[in-house]
Every structure is written in C-alpha cells, then in structure tokens.
Amino acid sequence: MKQNLWILFILISLKSIACTCALKTLSELQKLEIENAELIFIGEVIEVNKSNSTFKIKVTESLNAEDNEELIYAGKNWEYCHPVITEKGQWIIYGNIKDGILKLNRCGLSRSFAKPTIHAIPPPSPELLSSLNEKEKKALWDKLRKDNLKKGLTELEAEIKALRRIRDEK
C-alpha cells in the first residue's frame, strides 16, 4: 500500500512540474525555434476539440519551405505545457511531427495572431492602482491590453518578415 502511495505521489509531482519554461528573450526564443522546429508556418486553425486536446490546422504560408501550403495537419496539445491551441483562427506554428501528429514545441513561440504577446508589458504597481478610481483603473487596464496587443503584433510582424527572408535565402 505504501508503495502505491509513493507512486501516486511521484506521478502527481511530475505532472505539477512537467513544464517549467525559463523566461528567455524573444530573440533567444526565435533562435531556438528556428534551430529546433521541423515545421514553421502560418496556418488557419479550422477545428479544435478541447475534450481530447486535438486540433486541425491548414497551412496558409510555409515559412521554412518544408511544408506544403494547403496541407492540413492533425495536432495534439501537450497536457501540461504551452503553447496550447484552444481557438480557431490564424496562428504562427513552430512544431515537429511525431507519430504522424503535429506537436508544437514546448515553451515555444507558436501563438495566435489574436493573442500574439510573448512577454507582456508589466502590470501597474499596486500603489498606482490603489490611487485610482474604478473608471481610471478600467481605462488603465484597457490601455495596457491595447499596448500589449500592439507590441505583440509588431513583434509577430517582424518575426514573420525575418522568417520569410531566411526562407527566401535558401
């Protein structure tokens, strides 16, 4: 009985620490992804099944010239690690094929065009928040969300341009 409890404890512990992503700069992440991704492309997520963590994505633009445009990949999210595809829409994908299934790189840069931010702008200090009324707080949070989206889209656009340049030089 004690042995079973230890096994259960170890399994629970492994799941809780299965994915810890070190905070890296965007340029470090980009370099790692380019070196380690079998597939890099822009795609349209056309189906998401949250109950079994699967998705289907159609390639709209290859960014490393190794995948065919219009090809549809079946993918599976990692159980305890991001990025995770949970919504339809346009995504930039860095991944690998394992047993015929697309897997996004753990702790990677795959992300939705709708939520492109990798490193968000830091939130305001508690002191600042406590000095604001509710209307001012709402306006500040709205501005931060807009700034984060703008930052993420700018970074994503620059990343895609760089990937296209690398692809075209091959």
pTM exceeds cut of 0.75: yes
What pLDDT, in 10s, does the model give residues 24-68? 788 888 888 999 999 999 999 999 998 899 999 999 999 987 667
What pLDDT, in 10s, does the model give residues 88-108? 999 999 999 999 999 998 888
Q: Which residues pair with 93 in a beta bridge?
A: 41
45 closest CA partner among 95, 80, 91: 91
Residue 75, judged by CB atoms within 10 A of its CB (0-12, 13-18, 19+), counts as buried
pLDDT of residue 3: 54
Specify the 3-state DSSP secondary structure of 103: strand
The owner of tokens 């709708």 is 114
Task: Identify the structural domains of the chain with CATH numbers, from first to last.
Answer: 21-169 (2.40.50.320)
Give pairs for 113-116: CB < 8 Å, separation 24+.
113/89, 113/153, 113/156, 114/87, 114/89, 114/90, 115/152, 116/149, 116/152, 116/153, 116/155, 116/156
